[in-house]
Chains A and B, each alone.
Chain A
Amino acid sequence: MEELNLFIKSIFIDNMIFAYFLGMCSYIAVSKNVKTALGLGVAVTFMLTVTMPINYALDKYVLQEGALSWLSPSLADVDLSFLGLIMFIAVIASGTQLVEMAVEKFSPSLYASLGIFLPLIAVNCAILGGALFMQQKDFGSAATATVYGLGSGIGWLIAIVGLAAIREKIAYSNIPAPLRGVGITFIITGLMGIAFMSFLGIKL
């Protein structure tokens, strides 16, 4: 039950885009049409779900203060948490590389349709941000962390597909010239964020 609450919370209330602005660069750049937005959204969701338990294990069993005590009692006061950032980004970058190779080998058609988005995910802040929030929230088990990753990914997916759909329609509107393109995208995202704020009061 607790996992379900966390899942819904991470999709709607703690939405990666509207509450924390993570993964904004690709969100603005790759939202011109729904199809590519969907592809990127699925890729991000997948990476968040896969890297979250790995980073969780890394944090719990290697990096935290006293985490190494399972190796030998003499290591109980070793604190490697300052290495967190570099380890997380290494996991994410190598994970992206592996996923890219696997997709290229087993499903060339999917690989062709995702194209450059796959390697770009390594520097998508949503993934590293997810890992850092996971560390901050101090989840009880790897399963909970995975649920959090999946939920955040789906929230990101919903946001980018929604924005892409609006931008496809807005092509027919007469927007003031200086606002065309990026400017109006920011305003749309802001309005979508205000709409998502209506989920704020919900207690789960």
Chain B
Amino acid sequence: MLSKKNKEALFNPLSKDNPVLVQILGICSTLAVTASLKPAIVMGIAVIAVLAFSNVIISLIRTTIPTTIRIIVQLVVVAALVIIVQQFLVAYTYDVSKQLSVFIGLIITNCILMGRLEAFALNNRPWPAFLDGIGNGLGYTAILVIVAFFRELLGSGTLLGCHVIPQWCYDHGYENNGLMILPPMALITVACIIWVHRARNKELQELN
């Protein structure tokens, strides 16, 4: 069940081959939904689900897809799964789905999906493809949660909507940094994570 190769498919994307930090895929949504923690977690779970199941489906039909139309086939499979997730979110967590607005729909064009389908699901059996989907989804979610943690903590002084910075800090002149909520700081937060990550993994550093 978990041979060495399968373990690599599952665990490599968490750090060494992280979809966001190393493969630079799926940046749009990483940046856009991370102003607070809750939508980030929901988005992460949605991406894990879509990624794992689309990987399995594409892997099951990989021998029957003609290569010339594979992109359209992949898009249709992904779009169908995203519609299911979207309807599910609207039904059960309406306010979060409002917050995420178009970004659930944009999972379709999330590069992680196309990237993994092209690079892994098309040449692997369903079980490793499933693990690869889960692994990459988790790697993506981890970055989402880290970015959202710092942005929500520093930007609004809350975590998951609960106040964590005590009132006496504000009484002594502490201020929430409103800039952290704004879009540009998401980019700079991700840049700092990349900085730390590459300082620890020297082999990932680029020459220029």
Contacts and interface: CB of A to CB of B under 8 A. Distances in A.
B206 A181 contact: yes
Contact of A129 (B25, B76, B106, B199): B106
Contacts of B31: 21, 24
A136 B101 contact: yes
A27 B80 CA distance: 27
A192 B195 CA distance: 19
A85 B194 contact: no
A23 interface: yes
B91 to A, nearest CB: 12
Given A89-B79, A128-B105, A190-B187, A178 B205 contact: yes
Interface stretch (A43-51, A71-79, A106-114, A117-125): A117-125
A125 B110 contact: yes
A201 B26 CA distance: 30
Given A25-B28, A85-B86, A194-B184, A180 B109 contact: no
Contact of B71 (A19, A86, A93, A136): A93
A28 B187 CA distance: 12
Q: Is the interface of A mostly helix, strand, loop or mixed?
A: helix
A187 interface: yes
A182 B24 contact: yes
B87 interface: yes
A18 B108 contact: no
Contacts of A119: 71
B106 A183 contact: no
Contacts of B83: 82-83, 85-86
A70 interface: no
B26 A25 contact: yes
Most chain B C-beta atoms within 10 Å of own C-beta, residue among A82, A84, A187: A187
Given A28-B24, A82-B83, A86-B79, A176 B195 contact: yes
Contacts of A187: 187-188, 191
Contacts of B197: 178
A183 B195 contact: yes
A122 B32 contact: no
B183 A186 contact: no
A136 B71 CA distance: 27
Interface string B167-199: 000000000000000111111101100111111
Interface of A: 18-25, 28-29, 82-86, 89-90, 93-94, 119, 122-125, 127-129, 132-133, 136, 171, 176-184, 186-187, 189-194, 197
